[in-house]
A and B are shown apart, each in its own frame.
Chain A
Amino acid sequence: MNWQAVALTAKLASLVSLILLVLGLPLAYWIAYSRWRWKFLVEAVVALPLVLPPTVLGFYVLVAIGAQSPIGRWYQHWTGHSFAFSFQGLLIASVLYSLPFAVQPFAVAFAQVDRNLLAASSVLGSSRTQTFFRIIMPLSLTGILAGVILSFAHTVGEFGVVLMVGGNIPGVTQTISIDIYDRVQDLDYAAANQTALLLLAFSFIVLSVVYAANRQLWRGWLSK
Chain B
Amino acid sequence: MSSPISLDVRISKRFAARHHQFSLDVQFSAPAGVTVLFGPSGSGKTTILECIAGLLTPDSGRIALNENSKQSVLFDSQSRVNLPANTRNLGYVFQTLALFPHLTVEENVGYGLSRLPSHERTGQVDAILESFHIPHLSRQRPDRISGGERQRVALARSLVTRPRALLLDEPLSALDYETKSKIIADLRAMTRVHRIPVIYVTHALDEVFALGERVITLEKGSIVKQGSPSEVLATEREQLIRELQGANI
Residues of chain A whose beta carbon lies under 8 Å from any beta carbon of chain B: 114, 116-117, 119-127, 130, 134-135, 138-139, 223
Chain B residues within an 8 Å CB radius of A223: 102, 141
B16 smallest CB distance to A (angstroms): 16
| Chain A CB within 8 A of B127 CB | no
| Least CB separation from A124: chain B residue | B112
The B contact surface, by secondary structure, is loop
Other A-B pairs, 16, CB within 8 Å; known A123-B92, A139-B101: A116-B94, A119-B53, A119-B85, A119-B92, A120-B92, A120-B94, A121-B111, A123-B54, A123-B85, A123-B88, A124-B112, A125-B112, A125-B114, A127-B86, A130-B114, A223-B141
Contact at B111–A119, with CB atoms within 8 Å? no
Which residues in B have their C-beta under 8 angstroms from that of A117?
A: 98, 100
Residues of A within 8 A of B157 (CB): 124
Q: Please report which residues of chain B, range 62-119, place their CB below 8 angstroms from some CB of chain A when the two chains form the complex.
A: 84-92, 94, 96, 98, 100-102, 111-112, 114-115
What residues of chain B have their CB less than 8 Å away from a CB belonging to chain A? Answer: 53-55, 84-92, 94, 96, 98, 100-102, 111-112, 114-115, 141, 157, 161
CB distance from B45 to the nearest CB of A (A): 16
On chain A, the residues within 8 Å of B101 by CB distance are 139
Ordered nearest first, which 4 A-B pairs have the shortest CB separation?
A124-B112, A120-B98, A116-B98, A122-B85
Q: Is the CB of A119 within 8 A of B102?
A: no
CA distance A134 to B113 in the complex (A): 13
Name the B residues within 8 Å of A124 (CB-CB): 86, 111-112, 157, 161
30 contacts between A and B (CB under 8 A): A114-B96, A114-B98, A116-B94, A116-B98, A117-B98, A119-B53, A119-B85, A119-B94, A120-B92, A120-B98, A120-B100, A121-B100, A122-B84, A122-B85, A123-B54, A123-B86, A123-B88, A123-B91, A123-B92, A124-B86, A124-B157, A125-B86, A125-B89, A125-B112, A125-B114, A125-B161, A126-B86, A126-B111, A127-B86, A135-B100
Q: How far is the CA of A123 from the CA of B53 in the complex (A)?
A: 7
- Chain B residues with Cβ below 8 Å from A116 are 94, 96, 98
Q: Are B102 and A123 in contact (CB under 8 A)?
A: no
Residues of A contacting B89 in the complex (Cβ-Cβ under 8 angstroms): 125
A219 to chain B, nearest CB (A): 9
With A and B bound together, what is the CA distance between A116 and B88 in angstroms?
17
Q: How far is the CA of A127 from the CA of B89 in the complex (A)?
A: 13
* Nearest CB of A to B51, in Å: 13
Contacts of A139 in B (CB 8 A): 101-102
Q: Which chain A positions have C-beta within 8 A of B85?
A: 119, 122-123
Q: Which residues of A contact B114 (CB under 8 A)?
A: 125-126, 130
Nearest chain A CB to B108 CB, angstrom units: 9
